[in-house]
Structures are given as C-alpha cells and as structure tokens.
Amino acid sequence: MSYTRTTWINNDLSSPVDADNLNKIENGIDAVTDIADNTVIEVSLLTGRVDDLDGVGGDIDQINDAIVDLDEEKVWRNIDVDPAGDVVADGVDKIFVSWAGAVSVLLPPIPTLSDTIRICDAGCDFSTYNLTIKGNSKNIMGAATDYVLVTLSEGVELSWSGDTYGWAITART
C-alpha cells in the first residue's frame, strides 16, 4: 500500500480545521499505512491529542514510544464442552462453538474502540441450540437486549462502536 503524506500549513484562517490537526491526522494515516505494509508500527509519531474527529472529544490520547505487533494475533478457542455458565469474551476474542447445547457469550464490560469479537458455529448447532450474546449492560446494534444467533453454521463479528450503538455487527458468515 502506498501513501503520500501531505504537510499542511495554516494559509486559510477561515478553515475550521487548522494545519496542526490536519498534520496529526496525516500522522495517523501514515501509521495505518505502516500497519498494512509491515504489520509492525512504531506509534511514537502519534503523540499529543486529537479531539473532535467525530464530534466526541478524546479520539486519540497520548501514545508514546509504543510498538504494536500484529503478528501476535489471537488464536481461536473452541467451546466444545458445557461451559457451565457464560463464556466471557475479552476485547479481541475469537470463539468457535462446537458444544451441542445452548451457550451464552458475555461481552467485555468496558470495551474500547479497538475491540472486536468473532463467534462462529463450528458444530453446526445454532439452529438447534441457540447462541446468546450478552451485552454486559452495553447496547448491541443500538438495543439494550441480548443478541441471539439461530441459524445453522452462522458466524458473526462484533466491533465496539461507542456507547450510543454499542456493539455493531461488522461481518456475518
């Protein structure tokens, strides 16, 4: 992936976005491009704070001298026996369900915008034994109710979108 960075200067004082904020956005785009190209990124360029990219303050808080290594991808775990209670998901979980019985997955109580949960019917049983996804007092698709998977071989990816809509379905299989 190739990206050509633009350096912004304040030449139009009537613009609602000043050059400093545009340059911080460019740093972020550079960082994302590095991830796509290298799967390893040094995020020390993302120092400071960028506010109000989406109308909500605090979009990017200070990040200093950190390295994100995407090679440490989480492996899938398989629920193949009765979990005897909720399966507790963490912020980057991948869950196969092959247990021939009803299963409930409890989503993280304090999610962040980088959280993505994947759940897949590996045992072809959701049509017989539904899977319930519990929001843990957070919305799922804008509703404060559980989300139930009821289709044979169904899979779903949920990503945290913020408090208003909560967990959004970002992919289905």
The ranges assigned to domains in the chain are 19-69, 77-172
- Residue 140 to residues 1, 67, 115, 149, Cα–Cα distance (Å): 33, 31, 13, 13
Distance CA 107, CA 119 (A): 11
pLDDT for 163 equals: 92
90: left (phi over 0), alpha (psi -120 to 50) or beta: beta
Low-confidence ranges of the chain (pLDDT < 70): 1-3, 8, 10-18, 34-73
Convert the pLDDT of each residue in 81-118 to its tens digit: 999 999 999 989 999 999 999 999 999 999 998 899 99
Q: Using CA of residue 124, residue 128, residue 134, residue 135, what is the dihedral sign?
A: positive
pLDDT for 123 equals: 85
Give CATH for domain 77-172: 2.60.120.640
Q: Are 99 and 79 in contact (CB under 8 A)?
A: yes
pLDDT for 28 equals: 76
Q: Report the residue count for the chain.
A: 173
Q: Are 45 and 67 in contact (CB under 8 A)?
A: no
